Amino acid sequence: MGEREWSMAYNSERDNLIIPEYGRHVQNLVEEAKLIENPAERQVFVEKIVDLMMQIHPQSRNIEDYIDKLWKHVFRISNYDLEGVMPPNGVLPTSEDAAKRPEMINYPESEAKFRHYGHNVQHLIKKAIEMPEGPKRDGFVAVIASYMKLAYRTWNKEHFVSDEVVKSDLESLSNGKLVLKEELMQETNNNNNRRRKRPSNSGGGKRSRSSSRRRR
């Protein structure tokens, strides 16, 4: 047997990994793809590299535009030096793509001001605004107000929240499109009070009668 030559090198002596999450083998394969002279063969080789990258991170397949991101990464690893290679979407990645940053999304001021009511209140208010005016919408607004009151108490148990505060906050959150009718809010409060005072059906009376019979 002939002597086998081994090539050993420390990581400190190798080129830096451009995208470390794919490892050095992928980076070496991309460098190998650059040496392929036939454009068609280079295209097929790079496609196999992308398939390998997909296998390395299969949990990311649910991410939107996942395949496009992989192709952008493979071009980035090659320092955008893959002549004749084209991604499936027909858009050639450039170095400017890597420099792009997502636009800043401003936090909604209304939610920042009324965070104690929770994010779900925003969805309920939006749904109420889309409803046609009438008793059904008024009842739904009263339910939203009752939910806001409960959320406020949960957030700050030491302070009492009046119906007027909830009414004012509801108008602010809906930009004045929703107005709480006091009679409906009062009816909701009365129903909630009756539920709290309703005695539990524990069967205590039956036990007391049976115990009195034993005493006899």
87: confidence class by pLDDT, cuts 50, 70, 90? very high
Quote the mean pLDDT of the chain: 78
Q: What is the pLDDT of residue 115?
A: 77
Structure tokens at 172: 């602010």
C-alpha 78, offset from chain centre: 32
Q: What is the pLDDT of residue 189?
A: 63
- The residue type found at 12 is S
Q: How far apart are CA 25 and CA 170, in angstroms?
A: 58
Which spans in 35-155 are helix H?
39-56, 66-77, 95-99, 109-113, 120-130, 135-155
Query: Which is more confident, 57 or 204?
Result: 57
DSSP designation for 119? T
Q: Is the pLDDT of residue 104 over 50?
A: yes
CB 62 within 8 A of CB 68: no
158: confidence class by pLDDT, cuts 50, 70, 90? low
Instruction: Write the burial class of residue 80 (CB in 10 Å: 0-12 exposed, 13-18 middle, 19+ buried).
Output: middle
Q: Scan for tokens 């196999």, then name that residue.
A: 48
When mean pLDDT is compared across 65-74, 171-180, 201-210, the lowest value belongs to 201-210
